[in-house]
Amino acid sequence: MNNSRVLFAGTPAFALMQLQALCESGCIPVAVLTQPDRPAGRGKKLTASPVKKYSLEQNIAVLQPTTLRDEEVVKQLAALKPDLMIVAAYGLILPQAVLDIPKQGCLNVHASLLPRWRGAAPIQAAILAGDEQTGISLMSVTAGLDCGPVFATAAIDIGAHENAGALHDRLATLGGELLLRELAAILDGKLEAIAQDESRATYAGKITSADARLDWSRPADELARSVRAYNPVPGAWFMHDDERIKCWRATMTDDSGPPGKVVDVTKDSVVVSCGTSALAMQELQRPGKRVINATAVDSQLKLAGTTLS
């Protein structure tokens, strides 16, 4: 495996875990593809991706094209003569001209048990749907959306109160472990990729801030999953007067009343009635402020008896 020429493509922290696993095993990529630097923070300063920062520390060549459909970019990648391209949360579509470059194709580390939750947000989708399990799939990349044959999978249980951030970190670690365990067999042609069952395919589209708005007409158990799924990004939220308030931790409770009505405020929770049951919110955040417990917010906003939107 260490003699194989591997090209790596990835951008965020999830991809970094896969890259670190490769490098620590001695499989140093011939180059790394990652998204161009993006503005970040209050100052909107151009910031390198986690993958780029680590690659530079390891003296690995970094390529940051804005598109892979440029002929010069394709020629540059072909000149690297990769045996395999490993992709993890890269963020750019791989055109056929790029898929055809590596001798043994392109391998994607995907954070779901394919064919369930193809697409951009599989971790959030699994929590939103109330799935008991999720996992990692090592998939051969084809022109379609996460529909290529799968070499190997590894499953983990989703914790009853686990949020997307915690699940992300566990899946990122699992991805690195599975990649190292199976990569040699894939490179040696000893592991056969199995076609996905199209009849079981589900899709997880990109998440917007609007998706994370709490709709009080929905059942409380769904809203509790929304709070977990959208933590840490973009954060579940609701409106009170003119303020967008984010909720970072909440559970379902048996209280009832008109949807959106704050039916109780305890030392631990602000309780809001929903379509069925109620949502007990424990951690809230006002715009530009730090995360505080629910009763601290209530002391500032006097939520008891109000109706939230």
Other Cβ atoms less than 10 A from the Cβ of 55: the count is: 25
Cα–Cα distance for residue pair 15/11, rounded to 1 Å? 6
Mean pLDDT, the chain, rounded, equals 95
Among the residue ranges 32-46, 151-165, 275-289, the one predicted with the least confidence is: 32-46
Quick one: pLDDT at residue 302? 87
pLDDT band at 1 (very low <50, low <70, confident <90, very high): low
Cα–Cα distance for residue pair 292/71, rounded to 1 Å? 52
CATH code of the region 210-301: 3.10.25.10
Decide if pLDDT at 70 tops 90: yes
Decide if pLDDT at 295 tops 60: yes
Nearest to 29, CA basis, from 85, 68, 79, 74:
85
Q: Convert the pLDDT of each residue in 81-140 to its tens digit.
A: 999 999 999 999 999 999 999 999 999 999 999 999 999 999 999 999 999 999 999 999
**Residue type for position 86:** I
CB 262 within 8 A of CB 303: yes
Domain edges within the chain: 6-204, 210-301
Mean pLDDT of 272-294: 95
| DSSP label of 205 | P
Decide if pLDDT at 283 tops 70: yes
pLDDT band at 162 (very low <50, low <70, confident <90, very high): very high
| DSSP label of 223 | H
CB 187 within 8 A of CB 178: no
**Residue type for position 37:** D
Two domains, one topology: 6-204 and 210-301: no
Q: Convert the pLDDT of each residue in 198-234 to its tens digit.
A: 999 999 999 999 999 999 999 999 999 999 999 999 9
Q: Convert the pLDDT of each residue in 6-52 to its tens digit.
A: 999 999 999 999 999 999 999 999 999 999 999 887 778 899 999 99
CB 76 within 8 A of CB 64: no
Quick one: pLDDT at residue 3? 79
Decide if pLDDT at 2 tops 60: no
Mean pLDDT of 256-277: 94
Task: Give the side-chain half-sphere CA count within 13 A for 119.
Answer: 15
CB 229 within 8 A of CB 124: yes
The topology under which CATH files domain 6-204 is Rossmann fold (3.40.50)
Backbone torsion region of residue 29, taken as left when φ is above 0, otherwise alpha when ψ lies between -120 and 50, otherwise beta: beta
In which element (H, E) is residue 8 found? strand 6-10
CB 95 within 8 A of CB 179: no
Mean pLDDT of 273-280: 97
Quick one: pLDDT at residue 216? 98
At a CB cut-off of 8 Å and minimum separation 6, what does 154 contact? 135, 136, 174, 177, 178
Exposure string for 103-139, b = 16+ CB within 10 A, e = fewer: ebbbbbbbbbbbbbbbbbbbbbbbbbbebeebbbbbb
Cα–Cα distance for residue pair 234/212, rounded to 1 Å? 7
